[in-house]
Amino acid sequence: MRLLTHREIERLYRILSQSMPGRSSSAKGPKGQPDPFRTCLACILSAQSLDQNTAVATKALFKLARTPRTMLKLSVEQVAAAIKPCGLYNVKARSIQGFCATLIDEFDGIVPQTRDELLRLPGIGRKCADIVLQFAFGQPTIAVDTHVFRVCNRTGLAPGKTADKTADALLARTPEWAVEQAHFWLIQFGKRICVARTPRCDVCPLNQMCRDYIDRQPVPMIR
């Protein structure tokens, strides 16, 4: 797919900044968690889980423990039972215990503030690391979820075969002024306009530059 030009990217973000609400003043962290440790665990639990199920699981888990040391006092079976509503609970329970053990052994129980260090923690992938950096530590980065990935690949903003490759390209191609809000604009656009099954191309403010939309237009016949 052809990439958007730098001029088109500037225009894309200007349009999104005017048509999408961006980050609200009430936005805290994933699933509303108040600290970096619980933000990390909420990310782990949210994988392949509906938001309402993740909320039930996190609430049940944090009733039992709220620090890495108290979490390790629980058995894997206890953790799995608490987080069962979010699915994949046995795998996630082991990841949580591994996360807590590594956090204590390598970082004295304190969640690190760099992507490379976060990625050393079990259960933390690129998207989760970027979410923690942005929400828990206020660092300018762009987490790529399914909505952002779809928008980037459809429009030609930052196409990539994997979310990680898209994340690298997106951060490199996003103007510095837009990085802080880009995550929110792109997610909101993906949920409201560039939806998965039937994108609303007819009302899309980006359709004149979107590579997918342009490529799908019929070629005029030469008479």
Category of 35 on φ-ψ map: left (φ > 0), alpha (ψ -120 to 50) or beta: beta
Catalytic residue among 145, 165, 168, 212: 145
Span 6-23+142-215: which CATH code? 1.10.1670.10
Model confidence, pTM: 0.84
* Orientation angle between helical segments 51-64 and 36-46, nearest 10 degrees: 130
**What's the pLDDT at 34?**
80
Catalytic residue among 31, 92, 127, 130: 127
Residue 219: exposure state from Cβ atoms within 10 A (0-12, 13-18, ≥19)? exposed
**What's the pLDDT at 218?**
80
Residues of the chain where predicted confidence (pLDDT) is lower than 70: 24-32, 220-223
The residue extents of the domains of the chain are 6-23+142-215, 30-136
Contact (CB, 8 A) for 41 and 96: yes
Span 30-136: which CATH code? 1.10.340.30
In the annotated binding site, the residues are: 194, 201, 204, 210
Verify whether residue 145 is a known catalytic residue: yes
In the annotated binding site for [4Fe-4S] cluster, the residues are: 194, 201, 204, 210
According to DSSP, residue 178 is labeled G
Verify whether residue 127 is a known catalytic residue: yes
Write b or e for each residue in 61-100: b if 16 or more Cβ atoms lie within 10 A of its Cβ, otherwise e.
bbeebeebeebbebeeeebbebbbbbbbbeebbebbbebb
**What's the pLDDT at 32?**
62
